[in-house]
């Protein structure tokens, strides 16, 4: 029997904003699972099974918002730790990752593009090979032997400046080899300019290649046409297929930007996995310069329901011993298993910086040419004062309402770019997704323990 969107909306609305995933206490969150009630302890992101009676007592204290009783019960259950994250921000962390806006221009006319068709609101530009090499110098200058660094190519469309991309890659390989540093490469591309020679090059250098695809056929073409409005999906797939067949060191993944117009996530996931992508991930469109395609509350509720549908398929396949590379799920399970806890959503402005075509440094690739997040230049130096001020201001303990949210050390307070431009419209979605992933984690830990042994190794 088909479930209507209305039914999904009703059930998920309760789930995401008022139901079991809603925020009640900043330090503990209850999760009912197939293996009974569990408590998620925010400090250290640990999940503990509770006896039914203990769970009920804790639940009542949470519903009554009796924080003293909650603290007392956690001590009684022996599941407290001294705080692992305090209010101190990171200060001048080592640089581990740099993304180059190697081409601030693009041949597609995506409806929602944060980079405004690649030009970030300015004119079309390409990074000179000279500037790209200086950026590589910056990345590797203080990298110690045995460490790992990442060089990412973004745009615009990075393959619009193949010369700069290849020069920077070869140079980084040469410097890293001499210094005993492990350098990894990644590229996010629209796929329209890929050639077999690019495939050989990416394979040789072990690139993580991410292709931006927003669905199968029309669903993609509605959002990501060429600038003249012509469809792009068929042309992209024709160029990507040889790379999919070639993957050895190279991994070719798909990234789907979800808007209210392409919510068939299960169909998209199945279609892209069948095509042979190494993994497939979804991100909601939360902030667009044109406002086009931004997700509203109702769309996020539908998205959550569809993400859970994808997650259920992942669970079933994993139990059946079949690889099912749904990236959001793989990442969430890995983080829950590792007890990931962090005071920031990502490395932006910390170990990671973005470089504009002109060689200016920004908190990340999405902030290119945005003076609010500028952090020096390749030709000059990293502006430590601005960077440290950013890190102090962006710490999750400085964010509202994040300080009181049980999801804060997994979420980190949300993408800085989206929060600064739009606020936090997706908290119900984020908490609903994490709540479901905790249920799935407990279920899969019991059903397929070997998966986590391999993931940990």
- The CA radius of gyration of the chain, in Å to the nearest whole number, is 22
Longest alpha-carbon distance in the chain: 67
Task: Check: CB of residue 100 under 8 Å from CB of residue 154.
Answer: yes
Instruction: Please state the closest distance from residue 97 (CB atom) to ligand SF4, in A.
Output: 9
**Judged by CB, which is closer to ligand SF4: 239, or 424?**
424
Q: Of 12-20, 259-267, 279-287, 394-402, which segment contacts ligand SF4 by CB under 6 A?
A: 394-402
72 is written with which tokens?
Answer: 């007392």
Residue 402 found at the interface with ligand SF4 (CB under 6 A): yes
What x-and-dash track marks residues 348-387 binding ligand SF4 by CB under 6 A?
x---------------x-x---------------------
**Judged by CB, which is closer to ligand SF4: 154, or 244?**
154
**Judged by CB, which is closer to ligand SF4: 194, or 304?**
304
* The binder of ligand SF4 chosen from 180, 276, 380, 401 (CB under 6 A): 401
Q: Is the dihedral of CA 125, 127, 130, 131 positive or negative?
A: positive
Q: Is 192 helix (H, G, I), strand (E, B) or coil?
A: coil
The whole-angstrom separation of Cα 352 and Cα 97 is 5
Cα–Cα distances in angstroms (integers) from residue 325 to residues 127, 253, 415, in the given order = 34, 9, 23
Any idea what the Cα angle at residue 26 is, between residues 24 and 31, rounded to 5°?
A: 55
* Dihedral pair phi/psi, residue 119, rounded to 5°: -100, 0
* The binder of ligand SF4 chosen from 134, 395, 431, 435 (CB under 6 A): 431
Cα–Cα distances in angstroms (integers) from residue 106 to residues 4, 191, 211, 452, in the given order = 39, 11, 14, 41
Residue 411 found at the interface with ligand SF4 (CB under 6 A): yes
**Judged by CB, which is closer to ligand SF4: 44, or 242?**
44
Residue 413 found at the interface with ligand SF4 (CB under 6 A): yes
* Sequence-ordered list of residues with C-beta below 8 angstroms from that of 73, at least 6 positions apart, any chain: 54, 57, 58, 61
231 is written with which tokens?
Answer: 């469809």
279 is written with which tokens?
Answer: 């993994």
Instruction: Please state the closest distance from residue 433 (CB atom) to ligand SF4, in A.
Output: 10
Residue 342 found at the interface with ligand SF4 (CB under 6 A): no
* The binder of ligand SF4 chosen from 430, 437, 438, 440 (CB under 6 A): 430
Q: Taking each helix axis as running N to C, give the angle between helix 297-319 and helix 427-447, from 0 to 180 degrees, rounded to the nearest 10.
A: 10
Q: Is 311 exposed, middle or buried (0-12, 13-18, 19+ CB in 10 A)?
A: buried
* Sequence-ordered list of residues with C-beta below 8 angstroms from that of 324, at least 6 positions apart, any chain: 273, 313, 314, 317, 318
Range list of H helices, 115-230: 129-141, 162-179, 196-204, 218-223
Q: Of 81-89, 279-287, 406-414, 440-448, which segment contacts ligand SF4 by CB under 6 A?
A: 406-414
Residue 95 found at the interface with ligand SF4 (CB under 6 A): no
According to DSSP, residue 348 is labeled B
Residue 343 found at the interface with ligand SF4 (CB under 6 A): no
Q: Of 190-198, 252-260, 271-279, 426-434, which segment contacts ligand SF4 by CB under 6 A?
A: 426-434
Instruction: Please state the closest distance from residue 346 (CB atom) to ligand SF4, in A.
Output: 3
**Binding-site size, ligand SF4 (CB under 6 A):** 21
Residue 438 found at the interface with ligand SF4 (CB under 6 A): no
Instruction: Please state the closest distance from residue 235 (CB atom) to ligand SF4, in A.
Output: 27
Q: Of 11-19, 77-85, 225-233, 408-416, which segment contacts ligand SF4 by CB under 6 A?
A: 408-416
* The binder of ligand SF4 chosen from 62, 318, 327, 407 (CB under 6 A): 407
Residue 424 found at the interface with ligand SF4 (CB under 6 A): yes
Instruction: Please state the closest distance from residue 172 (CB atom) to ligand SF4, in A.
Output: 20
Instruction: Please state the closest distance from residue 69 (CB atom) to ligand SF4, in A.
Output: 23
What x-and-dash track marks residues 273-312 binding ligand SF4 by CB under 6 A?
----------------------------------------
Q: Say how many C-beta atoms besides its own lie within 10 A of residue 90's C-beta.
A: 18
Q: Which positions touch ligand SF4 (CB under 6 A)?
A: 345-346, 348, 364, 366, 399, 401-402, 405, 407-408, 411, 413-417, 424, 427, 430-431
């Amino acid at each position: 029997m088909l479930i209507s969107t209305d039914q999904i909306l009703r059930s998920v609305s309760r789930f995401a904003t008022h139901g079991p995933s809603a925020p009640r206490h900043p330090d503990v969150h209850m999760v009912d699972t197939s293996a009974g009630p569990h408590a998620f302890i925010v400090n250290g992101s640990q999940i503990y099974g509770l006896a039914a009676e203990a769970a009920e007592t804790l639940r009542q204290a949470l519903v009554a918002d009796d924080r003293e009783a909650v603290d007392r019960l956690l001590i009684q259950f022996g599941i407290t730790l001294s705080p692992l994250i305090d209010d101190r921000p990171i200060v001048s962390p080592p640089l581990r990752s740099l993304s180059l806006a190697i081409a601030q221009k693009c041949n597609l006319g995506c409806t929602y593009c944060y980079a405004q068709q690649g030009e970030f609101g300015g004119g079309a530009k390409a990074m000179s090979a000279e500037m790209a090499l200086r950026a590589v110098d910056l990345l590797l200058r203080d990298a110690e032997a045995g460490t790992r660094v990442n060089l990412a190519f973004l745009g615009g469309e990075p393959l619009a400046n193949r010369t700069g991309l290849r020069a920077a890659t070869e140079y980084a390989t040469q410097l890293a080899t001499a210094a005993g540093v492990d350098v990894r490469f990644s590229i996010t591309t629209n796929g329209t300019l890929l050639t077999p020679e690019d495939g050989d090059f990416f394979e040789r250098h072990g690139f993580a290649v991410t292709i931006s695809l927003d669905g199968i056929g029309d669903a993609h073409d509605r959002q990501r046409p060429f600038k003249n409005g012509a469809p792009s999906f068929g042309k992209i797939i024709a160029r990507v297929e040889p790379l999919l067949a070639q993957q050895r060191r190279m991994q070719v993944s798909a990234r789907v930007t979800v808007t209210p117009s392409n919510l068939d996530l299960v169909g998209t996931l199945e279609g892209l996995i069948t095509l042979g992508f190494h993994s497939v991930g979804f991100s909601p469109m939360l902030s667009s310069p044109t406002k086009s395609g931004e997700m509203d509350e109702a769309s996020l509720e539908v998205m959550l329901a569809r993400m859970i549908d994808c997650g259920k398929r992942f669970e079933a396949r994993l139990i059946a011993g079949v690889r099912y590379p749904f990236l959001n799920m793989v990442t969430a399970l890995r983080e829950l298993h590792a007890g990931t806890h962090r005071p920031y959503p990502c490395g932006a402005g910390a170990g990671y910086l973005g470089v504009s075509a002109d060689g200016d440094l920004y908190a990340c690739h999405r902030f290119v040419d945005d003076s609010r997040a500028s952090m020096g230049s390749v030709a000059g130096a990293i502006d430590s004062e601005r960077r440290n001020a950013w890190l102090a201001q962006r710490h999750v303990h400085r964010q509202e309402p994040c300080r009181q949210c049980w999801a804060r050390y997994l979420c980190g307070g949300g993408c800085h770019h989206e929060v600064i431009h739009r606020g936090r419209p997706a908290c119900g979605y984020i908490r609903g997704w994490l709540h479901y992933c905790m249920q799935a984690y407990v279920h899969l830990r019991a059903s397929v323990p070997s998966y986590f042994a391999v993931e940990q190794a």
